[in-house]
Amino acid sequence: MIFRQRQPCAPLSKFIDGYWLYQDLAVEHTKEKLLPNGAIELIIDLSPMPKKLYDPLDLTRFTTFRRAWISGMQRRYIVIGAERGSSMMGVHFRTGGAAPFFGFPMSELTASVIELDLIWKREVYALRDRLLEEPDIPRKFDILEKFLLAKSRGNLDGDSTVEVALSALRRWPVLPLRELAARIGVSQKKMIARFDSRVGCTPKLAARIFRFQRALEVAYRAKDHDWAALAQHCGYYDQSHFIHEFQEFAGMTAAEYARRRTEYPDYIHLD
């Protein structure tokens, strides 16, 4: 198995956290639970076999995807297939970073996984063909980055209101939205509308996901877990609130997550 990552060049680095590629996936499990992280992910399949997105409440049911798709901002965990021998490339957008590459509000992708040909038509087939034809991995990344630059159409100025709000919510996700809007100098209604367009969710949901990610990081790294202390450290009202939020986002308790954690904090193997 080959796994590679690359950081984007400026100006894309402001919007994209990184590119990734793996070839000939070597795994023993067949399903993975992907936990919400506030990001939008673009995936290009470099292998012929269809990939599966499972119904999280009934793992006997699934939807298949081929060639390329995009996973919008997720409100809770999703369950995806892990097909041995498959190869893929992907783009991990920063929270709020995908908007310049699409001509519609990001909320239209929220809680969804959508085939990219529905958005980019045959352009995405041409991109995939070029990636398949290029054997050199660094050049594959070059091709992908050049395509994204073209799709942005130079619209890479960002939204300062959203950027400031996201930064504040990452530092302290329990900050009241009315106070946050006042600090930024916009109305609460206007801030929510900008989040809908750029991020794909409300500031309140973004704050909850950031807090959940903070709890994941602590639970992932700690050897001994004091859940009450963790809840207080991460800004939950109390341990009951922490338990409820963790269950909603991860579909499991924090203790189960700690037992089943993998090398990647946002992924849990299901079998």
Point out the least confidently predicted range of 150-159, 171-180, 200-209: 171-180
Q: Mean of the per-residue pLDDT values for the chain?
A: 94
Q: Show the domains of the chain with their CATH numbers.
A: 2-152 (2.60.120), 160-269 (1.10.10.60)
For residue 172, which amino acid is it?
A: W
Q: For 36-61, what is the mean pLDDT?
A: 96
pLDDT of residue 173: 75
Is residue 189 over pLDDT 80? yes
| Structure-token pair, residue 134 | 């290029």
Look up tokens 């957008």; give the residue. 93
Instruction: Give the pTM.
Output: 0.94
